[in-house]
Amino acid sequence: MHYNTTLPAAPSCLDAARVASAEGPRNRMPTSVWLIVHIVVRNPLVNIPSFTSMVQKTARLGGSASNVIVGKIGHGLMRMTWFPKNGIPVPDEEAFESMRAGMDNLPPGAKMILNSGEFYGHEPRTANLDLVARFFEKYPQYKEKAFLCVKGGSANDTVFRLDMSDDNVRRCVDLSVDKLRGTIEMHHFELARVSPHHPIEDNMKVLSELLEAGKFHHIGLSETRAETIRRAHKVAPVTSVEIEVSPWNYHQQIQDVVDTCKELGIAILAYSPLGTGLDKKEGHAITDVLNDVAKRNNITPAQACIAWVASRGDHMIPIPGSSHKDRTLENTAAGDIEFSHEDLAKIDAVVAEHNAKGGRPIDDPRMDAA
């Protein structure tokens, strides 16, 4: 799919890095994206498009939220507070401009998935929820355009760890509601991990009780295998499952989750569509084909990554993160990109041949042990 663009001046290495990273200029880019940047800088013919038109594609969530229409590309907020540059968080106005840009770019009736977490910060740990509360306190008119997902499950300790016990899950939900200060409802609460000490069936029962109590409206899971999703879905409807999906991370367990969620009508929130620091020789082949397809379609390599993830199914919702308005607009525009059969087949073939073999918590069998 081609877009009308204007050719910018030849980018510096820093400018190219900022464009190639859908995570934005403040954040450390994964190795996979640096591979893309390296090739983009070496190839001055790669065009850097500018996207300003409203996006068209949407998606539906699953489970009890199957009637909710959202943008095909969501907005991950973690890096606005999780990895501040030199210890300094992203300024509110910069973050807010990025959030508004994404929501303003949606078609009428669609909501933007804002992916937050009760532990997406350092000092304090709830910094991301505090940011969300400040945003909706200042811009209450955007509540109708947002679908807020909150991941939770951190222990009440000075050292960060996860705790999926019943009491701690309840504490995390109450803490999240408290930190939002009534500025926006928590539409969706997502269990951060599956614990080897707490059966997923018990977790789902507790979450169902909290849902019935009006703490939030829908239930999600994160970093869990296909079989565990089936077990959870038998207890209560699962709206979405959040896992890492990228051209560099599409091994069999990820594919099993993708297929299972499609079968059960569950959406996938695909975080880190640009990859997460894979330093593997095989990664260069994937980078090469993405750059080739991006150049031919007059899009950025980062958009090619996001569009490839989105092409895995109607239930796939990539949630790249950015605190920069322009990057957010480029990210959302990627949802409208449709590859030709030939281009998609080329990417698929290289991904299948050179893909990484795991490395995320989903690959640890202990995470699914009950």
Fold classified for 13-357: TIM Barrel (3.20.20)
What pLDDT score does 157 carry? 81
Residue 167 CB partners (closer than 8 Å, separation 6+) = none
Is 136 within 8 Å of 142 (Cβ atoms)? Answer: yes
What pLDDT score does 359 carry? 52
The catalytic site residues sit at 120
User: 113 forms bridges with which residues in the sheet?
Assistant: 147
Is 82 within 8 Å of 344 (Cβ atoms)? Answer: no
- Report, as ranges of residue numbers, the positions in the chain whose pLDDT lies below 50: 1-50, 279, 369-370
Cis-peptide into 124, omega within 30 deg? yes
What is the full DSSP assignment across 91-150? PHHHHHHHHHHHHHTSPTT-BEEEEEETT--SSSTTHHHHHHHHHHHH-GGGGGGEEEEE
What pLDDT score does 366 carry? 52
Please tell me the pTM assigned to this model. 0.85
Spatial distance between the Cα atoms of 187 and 29, rounded to a whole number of angstroms: 30
Please tell me the total number of residues recorded for the chain in this structure: 370
What pLDDT score does 31 carry? 40
Helix (H, G, I), strand (E, B) or coil at 270: strand
Residue with tokens 């390599």: 301
Tell me the CA distances in angstroms from 21 to 95, 244, 270, 301, one per residue in order: 16, 16, 16, 9
Helix (H, G, I), strand (E, B) or coil at 162: strand
What pLDDT score does 98 carry? 98
Q: Where are the domains of the chain?
A: 13-357
Tell me the CA distances in angstroms from 316 to 81, 128, 306, 361, one per residue in order: 25, 24, 10, 20
Residue 248 CB partners (closer than 8 Å, separation 6+) = 32, 275, 276, 278, 280, 283, 286, 355, 356
